[in-house]
Amino acid sequence: MNEQAKMGLEADAKQQPDFSVLLFNVGENQNREAFANIFQHFAPRVKSYMLKLGGVDEIAEELAQQTLLQVWRKAQQFDPGKAAASTWIFRIARNIRIDVLRKQKHFFDDDFDMAEIEDEQEDAEVTINREQKNRYVAIALAELPQDQAQIIRMSFYDGLSHGEIAKQLEIPLGTVKSRIRLAFGRLRESLYLKSGEMA
């Protein structure tokens, strides 16, 4: 990604309200205005995520509403030190989508790890606002080569299995997996480099 695009992304991030602050406010004070702000941004995007299920508009709309309702109900469990708001909302949307899609047990903690037993060694970086770190990941994500970005999107957003991606793109499964590995490697690297700079 060129410098201009990168600056655009950073400007975007500045324009966007800090969803972690808003979400925290919902949890702490049942603040409806904060919730409305979150709703306005995320509901239409969760709806488009849900549309990948099969394209029925009413169902996607209903699932988007359900997701945001869960966001309200669970907001007290949100800890800005542990997850960015977008990550946290993604978990709720994904779990609802899995439940609907396959009548499947999703094996994700409904408390979203906030009640999780503390890991022994939480390093200092954890105290950095997750939203901040998340911006570095966003930049790294935008910088991925097209073929890697496409597969990441198909996996996380379209909800396709690695096998399905291979079939759709007519490439070997091994290629799908190696692109995913490369992409994760780059994201992780950038995260460490950037948060290293900050320390």
Partner 1 sequence: MSIHHHLSDTTLGAFTAGTLIESISLVVASHISLCPDCRKRRDQLENIGGLQLLHAEPEGMSADALQKVMIKLGKQDQPLASHSTNDSIPSLFEGPTSPVGKPDIPQPLRAYVPDRLEDVEWKSMAPGIKYFAISGLETSGGTLSLLKIAPGVNIPEHGHQGIELTQVLKGSFSDEIGRFGVGDIADLDSDIEHQPIADTNEACICLIATEAPLKFAGLMPRLVQYFSGM
CA–chain centroid gap for 26, Å, is: 19
CA–chain centroid gap for 30, Å, is: 23
CB of 170 to partner 1, least distance (A): 19
Cα→Cα distances 114→53, 78, 117, Å? 28, 7, 9
Closer residue to partner 1 (CB): 70 or 129 = 70
The residues, ordered by sequence, that sit 6+ positions from 101 with a Cβ below 8 Å of its Cβ are: 53, 159
CB of 4 to partner 1, least distance (A): 17
Q: In 103-172, where does DSSP find H-type helix?
A: 130-143, 146-156, 162-169
CB of 94 to partner 1, least distance (A): 5
Q: Taking the CB of residue 27, how many other CB atoms lie within 10 A of it?
A: 20
Closer residue to partner 1 (CB): 7 or 184 = 184
CB of 175 to partner 1, least distance (A): 12
CB of 87 to partner 1, least distance (A): 3
DSSP state of 18: -
Closer residue to partner 1 (CB): 7 or 115 = 115
**Residues 125/195, Cβ–Cβ less than 8 Å:** yes
Closer residue to partner 1 (CB): 3 or 62 = 62
Closest CA to 179 of 153, 154, 149, 156: 149
The secondary structure element, H or E, covering residue 63 is: helix 57-74
User: CA–CA separation, 155 vs 163, rounded Å?
Assistant: 10
Closer residue to partner 1 (CB): 22 or 160 = 160
Closer residue to partner 1 (CB): 119 or 197 = 119
CB of 37 to partner 1, least distance (A): 10
